Structure 1
Amino acid sequence: MSPCPFTESDFLGCFEQDNPIAAFKNAIAAENSHLKLRFNPDQATAGLLTEKARFIDNILTACWLHFLGPAADLHCLIATGGYGRSELFPHSDIDILVLLADADPADYQHSLSGFCNFLWDIGLKPGLSTRDVDDCLTAAQDDQTVFTSLLEMRLIGGNTELFEKLKSRVSSDALWPSDQFFPAKMLEQQKRYAKYHDTAYNLEPNIKEGPGGLRDLQVISWVFKRHYNASSLRELIKYGFLPKSEYDNLITARDILWRLRFALHNLTNRCEDRLVFDYQRELASQFGYVDRNEQPDVEQFMQFYFKTVVDIERLNEMLLQLLNERLISNKESLTPIPITANFSSIDGYLEVSNKDVFQKQPLALLEIFLILQQSPSLKGIRASTIRLIRKNLPLIDENFRHNKQANRLFMDILRQPRGITSQLKRMNRYGVLAAYLPDFANIVARMQYDLFHIYTVDEHTLFVIRNLRRFSLAKHNNELPFCNNIFLLIAKPDILYLAALFHDIAKGRGGDHSTLGETVARNFCLQHELPNHDTKVITWLVRHHLLMSMTAQRKDISDPDVIHTFALQIGSIEYLNYLYLLTVADIRATNPSLWNAWKDALLKELYISTHQALHRGLHNPVARSERVQENKKEAREELLKLGISKTTIKQSWQHLSDDYFLRYSADEIAWHTIAIAACQESELPLVLLRPQTQRGSAEIFIYTRNEALLFSICTATLDQLGLTILDARIITTADQYVLNSFQVLEQSGEAINDLYREVHICNALRQGLIAKKAKASKNIHKQSRQARHFPIETSITFLDDPSHKHTIVELVTTDHAGLLSAIGRAFTELDIQLHDAKITTIGSRAEDMFYITDPQSRPIDDDHKKQQLRTTMLRYLDLKN
């Protein structure tokens, strides 16, 4: 198919039509459609990018001549940025510079305004600046980004001599010489990386600005062009920066990102550079991916993308290091300083003593990372040596992996006092980790397509190890001091690091990744001849790495029986210490936004309770009655101190069951008692709010007569107020009053810290309870844009209650506004008593547990009634959806 035939003359002719704006718009739409038809995801797009740039050249030239008239030859119309490079995507910004001659610009203001306005009218949305030569140089001197855009300027039309004058002045060594320009671009890249948490492995990556994206290639191009006045990246071969094979890899990776960006623009009909969920599945289909071996098409597609950008990220690291040597470093720093027989330091980077080091001594492929740990003054590995590492990766074969000296080297790396995280990341980036641990290769660049895991599995794994390392360092003590204190009790930190390394290593293989990972970990431990005890701890941690988080979030940890059962599973304080640290590090490395004070306090409470149970002895568990009496005694002593009489206490507690005193702390019991004792019947419902509890959340306490829909009204109101419900406790007294408490946070995950907000929440709840319905208002509990792409099949399961007091209903479904309220209405319709609710939301996935009985407070054992409840719950959920 031939290029779309719109020439400069065609566009000049458009001005003679009755409606030139419509004529231009039609031409632009036709060209975009033409490019979309010609685009093939399997073919290079360079020609299409150039064609689009030439098409815009023709439009701008025609408009320039029409609006400027005779003055068109006096001034210059210049393309800058990506447009200057002739890399114009379907909906790219069109950056242009109007370069004025020395004449008074006021003489041409009307013409220039007409030119600019017309471009907006026809939908081009140009990024336009108007300057003379001196203005350009001043702006460029003050801002390296302006200078960078001028590096790539290209004349579209106008005064050639004026353009060459500006080009000559910009090329002068006086303006941003290489030794100033290079550090400026490095700082700019560092800040850009920080916006993306220094990782390319984000769930919705930006293919232009993110690490390993197109901007990384442009940085290389700008620095290279500034120093060598190079016309293309191919000259990297000429000047000895890249061999042809690596240059070809670089261009292949760039072409992949170009094709992806082109497809994104076509798909969205706008300048979209983020691979957001809305488009990932469609792009996966366009690029030929289909579901295969239990791996969804979109996960395969994203793995393809991530492997591409990690190649660019690595090449960016190498090239910028080499450019730094050429442009910045002095000759003295480039003199080799021997470190070992195999390695020297050049400009602070580790370099092989000769090119045959790895061939002659393959174990040096691991030794090099140990040397980096032991020599903190070294900045990294020199680019030429990185190249040799990549070339010699096939040497890490089965014989290498079973070499006892190699095994000792790997364990030495994990046992060093510093540099563990940075070296493991480096080993992963260069391919050494995947070569040494073939099972790890399976998770490299593997994305889990959900909202819970926002990083690839390998990146998440390294973040877990980083988090564990931070627990060991005094300088990070302010983040999680409790974790730092527990870490001091750890005898062998390398046990933790290995458990972290293997905890998700079986993801994507089908089956239970914890069980499969346990096998991988055991084989590793046997191969590396770890002590039997260490092997047992590591494999147990891998197998049970989800146990603590699931127990804390899904069970009533105020129940001594729950704690005793959990303590039996843990078995020892040593295992508890390891599991607690691994659990916190894992959650924080999965999605930082999901970690909050509530989860911190919940896990800490479970740790402390379990520690006490283990210290007391598993043969001597705390009886429920003992815990009830302890809580009563502490609460009574606190109330007496505050002047509350024994009579008042007795009256307030007379209708409360042991469950109440078991599930609330002495502090909470005292707070409730004071409020209830001071409240008259006419003042009900009583609604109170404590903005900060020991668990880091706000507690909303409701005391009123038991009535239908009470739970549904409360949850609907809290949902409308934009609050996230973390936990719900429902106690019904013998005389049919209810004590409901909800642990809540703002939807942002923050605590409630505004007095007006507290009053508003209490008033809204009280009004809803009085009116016996939630106030009809706009729900501000918003479902995220991403959540729409993760519909979760609803499942309702009935579980056995170890205490035989309740029936436990487990609901798994897509989280949405009004979910708990709908469930409450279903319970009300069937006259079911709700006693407790454990609310767990993981990304867009709701995993909620409800503890229920029949009206006589008996468990529901009849299968017919269970099926009726399931049907009713599904009906209410469907109505809500």
Structure 2
Amino acid sequence: MTDTLFTEAYFAESLKDPQPIAAFKSAIASENEQLKLRFKPSQSPTDLLSEKAGFIDHLLSACWTHFLADEADHQALIATGGYGRSELFPFSDIDILIVLNQEFTDKIQDSLSAFSNFLWDIGLKPGLRTCFTSECVAFALQDQTIFTSLLEMRLISGNADLFETLSKQIINTQLWSSERFFLAKMNEQEQRYSKFHDTAYNLEPNIKEGPGGLRDIQVISWVFKHHYNAHSLRELIKYGFLPRSEYDSLVAARDILWRLRFALHCLTNRCEDRLLFDHQREMAVMFGYTDKEGNPDVEQFMQFFFKTVVDIERLNEMLLQLLNERLITNHETLTPTPITANFSAIAGYLEVSHDEVFQNHPLALLEIFLLLQQSPSLKGIRASTIRLIRKSLGLIDDDFRHNKQANRLFIEILRQPRGITHQLKRMNRYGVLAAYLPDFANIVARMQYDLFHIYTVDEHTLFVIRNLRRFALDKHSKELPFCNNIFLLTPKPDVLYISALFHDIAKGRGGDHSSLGEKIALDFCRQHSLSRQDSKLIAWLVRNHLLMSMTAQRKDISDPEVIHNFALQVGSIEYLNYLYLLTVADIRATNPSLWNTWKDALLKDLYVATHRALHRGLQNPVARSERIKETRKEAHRELTKLGISKNAISTSWQHLSGDYFLRYSADEIAWHTIAIAASTEEELPLVLLRPQTQRGSAEIFVYTRNEAQIFSICTATLDHLGLTILDARIITTEDQYVLNSFQVLEQSGEAINDLYREIHICDTLRQGLINKKANSSKNIHKQSRQARHFPIETSVTFLDNPLSKHTTIELITTDRAGLLSTIGKAFTKLDIHLHDAKITTIGSRAEDMFYVTDQNCQPIVDAQEQARMSATILRYLSDKQ
């Protein structure tokens, strides 16, 4: 620690100041500022952590002596946790324990209260516990977290005998045996991992608590130190847990996380352990990263972080396994049981039969994972063999990759009935997957900086394969039964897994990753001697893995022409089955929170309609007129059953165009018709709500006389009510009435399931239409904090389709509250007629399609007029209205 003005004597003198609180606050601020100035992102902050702990020692010692006066030497002031280790970051919590002697008086109580209050007044926010020695031991016996914090306690001031007495009792292994403590920490780690979905690859990772974070290193330290009464992690070398090189790697990784955490504290001026979007760009710059072509600075920085935590996660796995063997496993079970010539089982883990196995038989680097799949009783790979795998990765060279036996082994792993996901994850964690597939190495720890992809590309890829595997398993059949049923129709699941493995493999290379990935996938198929038919299917799936989701979300799948064109692209029911399963697995692995009943139903509807078209025959497509006729007939039959007269039906339908019967189902048409037939002109506008449709969303239906602001008023009101608009259908009758329907969900993604909420929505929307303005109450539809960090350049594109009777406007922009309302206002200003809207939101990105005409219902094709419209829309979106 460097010389500092802030000694214990300094603080003792400051307590005599007329305004001691201000003096202490000033000293704390000054110390933190000095730490910031001296911190260098490229250098270890070890000395700075120790210095901050020493600074707090001096401060507390002075306060302790001052407030407790004569009693200070009879009690013990003890640092615990990170403070006990002398690892204090600029804004770390200060955990302290006060141990009292048995002569406790009211005077001491008053003194302790004054001491504690002063610490809070100067802004320290101490985590303070006060107890007698016996109480402290009892607490530690009951709660392993308290016991853990006491393992690293350190006397700051006061009675050394009390401290020593407590130390001896805490060290006593009868309090917490090594085995019991180890199991408690394993359970704690398992629960901690589950909070982060068992992956270190989160968009906003936690440096301290996340998998592969600082807590993983601390768990090793606590278990090891408790059992061996060790003073530092360096003794892992002494006791044979780590060779010097791996110990150095562990310390280097810890040092990186220390530097990151220290930088975060400096950047935020608070105890912040999360790498939030708010800070990632600044951190990237702070750590010296700069943009490179196709590789932004922040993505490089996050890749650096993710590779660090994966190393820690792997070392944590190895060390805890070794500790488990030493502390818990019956040593009789450590006798090797031969499995093959190259491998034995030891305590349920695979171990090489000798250290030269991989050198002599390089293909064993793949065989070991196949063996794990074929032996479900095995728990994993023994730590010493994991270490050997890591050392042997260089053996996986071009000769290895082109070895036909190696190729057969890899394909065999993908064709096993169990363990595919687990073993691929292991292969990735140990570096085998990246070594065997060099193209995969490019996506390891690669982050996609948006709100749609919440995992790194390699982790996302493995999640896709996991999702596909779940479709095959009975125990998961209730999650998505439709997918499980289709999976049974796919004769070659390994084709799906290979397609998933390669679908995003060209991410980060620039260009279209789908077409680039197709070439990589084809090369893989040729190398691995897959049949021409399978190779063709895999390459097609990789190239078209976004086709189904884009069609479902961006096109009108009620239109037979859209279905026919999609069916032409797919070509066969076999291809449709594979594409559907890959699409669902992909979306759910991209961001599980974005998957909802609406997307599920949308994709299912597209599948069913396409399946019907393919079954009917591509040479015999359904004509629009035929579909319209069928729907009218079915709706008429349904209404007649419900007692609606033919005259009422005819009157309600007389001014409706064929588009209406094309775009709505018979069930929806019956619902609309009953309401319209029962309404008078004076009762308009008519606003209805069905809380649960076949697609899992709520449908809000509006029927009224046509006016320019209706779309804007509806969307603004629904937005004010905190509803997410998934789809909008706009139908205008020949006699100028509008039938608008909106598919909506609550902002949380849930359906509307409260009757009073339904009534409030309908009343509010109807009142807005009557008053010709949206509700001006506070907007409860809030943009997420993260979305502010992903501004998307707004673009307005006019899509040409000479055969269409509408002009299609494609809008890409940042999703935000009031977006559709603003668009509606722009359309009103432009005096154009909106016929339909297709709403697509991907993370923070809105990709919306609007089908418009001029007031004479003619397409708008004039280039100058389109330019004027584009400028107006952009102006409205840029204004803060």
* TM-score when normalising by structure 1: 1.00
Determine helix, strand or coil for the equivalent of 2:743. Answer: strand
Tell me which amino acid in the other structure corresponds to 1:681. E
Q: Quote the Cα distance in structure 2 between the aligned partners of 1:764 and 1:800.
A: 38
Residue 331 of structure 1: CA displacement? 1.2
Q: Output the aligned Cα RMSD.
A: 0.8
Q: Quote the Cα distance in structure 1 between the aligned partners of 2:804 and 2:67.
A: 86
Identify the residue that residue 423 of structure 2 maps to in structure 1. 423
Q: Quote the Cα distance in structure 2 between the aligned partners of 1:803 and 1:429.
A: 53
Tell me which amino acid in the other structure corresponds to 1:694. Q
Determine helix, strand or coil for the equivalent of 2:478. Answer: coil
Q: Quote the Cα distance in structure 2 between the aligned partners of 1:852 and 1:756.
A: 35
Identify the residue that residue 773 of structure 2 maps to in structure 1. 773
The answer to whether the Cα contact below 8 Å between 1:3 and 1:51 also exists between their aligned partners in 2 is no
Residue 618 of structure 1: CA displacement? 0.2
> 1:782-817 CA distances to partner (integer Å, 9 max, x unpaired)?
000011111100000011237411110000001111
Q: Quote the Cα distance in structure 2 between the aligned partners of 1:868 and 1:31.
A: 59
Identify the residue that residue 608 of structure 2 maps to in structure 1. 608
Identify the residue that residue 876 of structure 1 maps to in structure 2. 876
Identify the residue that residue 276 of structure 2 maps to in structure 1. 276
**1:695 has 2:695 as partner:** yes
The within-5 A match list for 1:797-816 is 797-801=797-801, 803-816=803-816
Determine helix, strand or coil for the equivalent of 1:516. Answer: helix
The answer to whether the Cα contact below 8 Å between 2:428 and 2:434 also exists between their aligned partners in 1 is yes
Determine helix, strand or coil for the equivalent of 1:449. Answer: coil
Identify the residue that residue 125 of structure 1 maps to in structure 2. 125
> 1:366-402 CA distances to partner (integer Å, 9 max, x unpaired)?
0000000000000000000000000000000000000
Residue 864 of structure 1: CA displacement? 1.1
**1:839 has 2:839 as partner:** yes
Identify the residue that residue 92 of structure 2 maps to in structure 1. 92
Q: Quote the Cα distance in structure 2 between the aligned partners of 1:785 and 1:830.
A: 33
The within-5 A match list for 1:611-690 is 611-690=611-690
Residue 25 of structure 1: CA displacement? 0.7
> 1:431-463 CA distances to partner (integer Å, 9 max, x unpaired)?
000000000000000000000000000000000
| 5+ residue gaps, structure 1 | none
The within-5 A match list for 1:443-522 is 443-522=443-522
Residue 328 of structure 1: CA displacement? 0.2
Q: Quote the Cα distance in structure 2 between the aligned partners of 1:119 and 1:807.
A: 68
> 1:125-179 CA distances to partner (integer Å, 9 max, x unpaired)?
0000001111111111111000000101000011111100000001112101101
**1:47 has 2:54 as partner:** no
Identify the residue that residue 180 of structure 2 maps to in structure 1. 180
Identify the residue that residue 382 of structure 1 maps to in structure 2. 382
The within-5 A match list for 1:57-206 is 57-206=57-206
Q: Quote the Cα distance in structure 1 between the aligned partners of 2:359 and 2:718.
A: 66
Q: Quote the Cα distance in structure 1 between the aligned partners of 2:451 and 2:803.
A: 35
Moved segments of 4+, more than 4 Å: none
Q: Quote the Cα distance in structure 2 between the aligned partners of 1:334 and 1:815.
A: 58
Q: Quote the Cα distance in structure 1 between the aligned partners of 2:434 and 2:247.
A: 24
> 1:805-860 CA distances to partner (integer Å, 9 max, x unpaired)?
11100000011111111111111112211111000011111000001111111111
Q: Quote the Cα distance in structure 1 between the aligned partners of 2:588 and 2:199.
A: 15
Tell me which amino acid in the other structure corresponds to 1:509. R
Determine helix, strand or coil for the equivalent of 1:880. Answer: coil
Residue 323 of structure 1: CA displacement? 0.1
Identify the residue that residue 263 of structure 1 maps to in structure 2. 263
Residue 87 of structure 1: CA displacement? 0.4
Q: Quote the Cα distance in structure 2 between the aligned partners of 1:214 and 1:687.
A: 56
Tell me which amino acid in the other structure corresponds to 1:857. C
Residue 2 of structure 1: CA displacement? 4.6
Q: Quote the Cα distance in structure 2 between the aligned partners of 1:861 and 1:103.
A: 93
Identify the residue that residue 232 of structure 2 maps to in structure 1. 232
Residue 749 of structure 1: CA displacement? 0.5
Tell me which amino acid in the other structure corresponds to 2:731. I
Larger deviation, residues 797-806 vs 171-180: 797-806
> 1:667-725 CA distances to partner (integer Å, 9 max, x unpaired)?
00000000000001100000000000001100000000001210000000000000000
Determine helix, strand or coil for the equivalent of 2:221. Answer: helix
Determine helix, strand or coil for the equivalent of 2:745. Answer: strand
Matched positions, count: 881
* TM-score when normalising by structure 2: 1.00
Q: Quote the Cα distance in structure 2 between the aligned partners of 1:828 and 1:537.
A: 48
| 5+ residue gaps, structure 2 | none
The answer to whether the Cα contact below 8 Å between 1:700 and 1:741 also exists between their aligned partners in 2 is yes
> 1:32-78 CA distances to partner (integer Å, 9 max, x unpaired)?
00000000000011000000000000000000000011111100000
**1:849 has 2:849 as partner:** yes
Determine helix, strand or coil for the equivalent of 1:729. Answer: strand
Q: Quote the Cα distance in structure 2 between the aligned partners of 1:541 and 1:765.
A: 44
Question: Is the alpha carbon distance of 1:152 and 1:2 closer, same or farther for their aligned partners in structure 2, counting shifts above 3 Å?
Answer: closer
Q: Quote the Cα distance in structure 1 between the aligned partners of 2:350 and 2:783.
A: 50
Determine helix, strand or coil for the equivalent of 2:72. Answer: helix
Question: Is the alpha carbon distance of 1:423 and 1:402 closer, same or farther for their aligned partners in structure 2, counting shifts above 3 Å?
Answer: same
> 1:186-230 CA distances to partner (integer Å, 9 max, x unpaired)?
000000000000000000000000000000000000000110001
The answer to whether the Cα contact below 8 Å between 1:818 and 1:880 also exists between their aligned partners in 2 is no
Q: Quote the Cα distance in structure 1 between the aligned partners of 2:105 and 2:45.
A: 40
Q: Quote the Cα distance in structure 2 between the aligned partners of 1:44 and 1:701.
A: 62
Question: Is the alpha carbon distance of 1:690 and 1:801 closer, same or farther for their aligned partners in structure 2, counting shifts above 3 Å?
Answer: farther
Residue 17 of structure 1: CA displacement? 1.2
Q: Quote the Cα distance in structure 1 between the aligned partners of 2:843 and 2:650.
A: 45
Question: Is the alpha carbon distance of 1:554 and 1:58 closer, same or farther for their aligned partners in structure 2, counting shifts above 3 Å?
Answer: same
Q: Quote the Cα distance in structure 1 between the aligned partners of 2:4 and 2:458.
A: 45
The answer to whether the Cα contact below 8 Å between 2:2 and 2:51 also exists between their aligned partners in 1 is no
Identity %: 76
Q: Quote the Cα distance in structure 1 between the aligned partners of 2:106 and 2:322.
A: 48
The answer to whether the Cα contact below 8 Å between 1:4 and 1:34 also exists between their aligned partners in 2 is no
Identify the residue that residue 286 of structure 2 maps to in structure 1. 286
Determine helix, strand or coil for the equivalent of 2:738. Answer: strand
The within-5 A match list for 1:862-873 is 862-873=862-873
Q: Quote the Cα distance in structure 1 between the aligned partners of 2:542 and 2:139.
A: 57
Tell me which amino acid in the other structure corresponds to 1:800. D
The answer to whether the Cα contact below 8 Å between 1:141 and 1:176 also exists between their aligned partners in 2 is yes
Larger deviation, residues 282-291 vs 813-822: 813-822
Q: Quote the Cα distance in structure 2 between the aligned partners of 1:634 and 1:557.
A: 19
Q: Quote the Cα distance in structure 2 between the aligned partners of 1:547 and 1:80.
A: 57
Q: Quote the Cα distance in structure 1 between the aligned partners of 2:20 and 2:235.
A: 44
Q: Quote the Cα distance in structure 2 between the aligned partners of 1:734 and 1:370.
A: 67
The answer to whether the Cα contact below 8 Å between 1:63 and 1:115 also exists between their aligned partners in 2 is yes
> 1:337-392 CA distances to partner (integer Å, 9 max, x unpaired)?
11111000001000000000000000000000000000000000000000000000
> 1:486-540 CA distances to partner (integer Å, 9 max, x unpaired)?
0000000000000000000000000000010001000000000000000000000
Larger deviation, residues 131-140 vs 412-421: 131-140
Q: Quote the Cα distance in structure 2 between the aligned partners of 1:369 and 1:770.
A: 68
Determine helix, strand or coil for the equivalent of 1:284. Answer: helix
Question: Is the alpha carbon distance of 1:3 and 1:819 closer, same or farther for their aligned partners in structure 2, counting shifts above 3 Å?
Answer: farther
Q: Quote the Cα distance in structure 1 between the aligned partners of 2:331 and 2:818.
A: 69
Q: Quote the Cα distance in structure 2 between the aligned partners of 1:47 and 1:346.
A: 43
Determine helix, strand or coil for the equivalent of 2:792. Answer: coil
Q: Quote the Cα distance in structure 2 between the aligned partners of 1:830 and 1:73.
A: 82
Residue 106 of structure 1: CA displacement? 3.0
The answer to whether the Cα contact below 8 Å between 1:822 and 1:880 also exists between their aligned partners in 2 is no
Determine helix, strand or coil for the equivalent of 1:130. Answer: strand
Identify the residue that residue 19 of structure 2 maps to in structure 1. 19
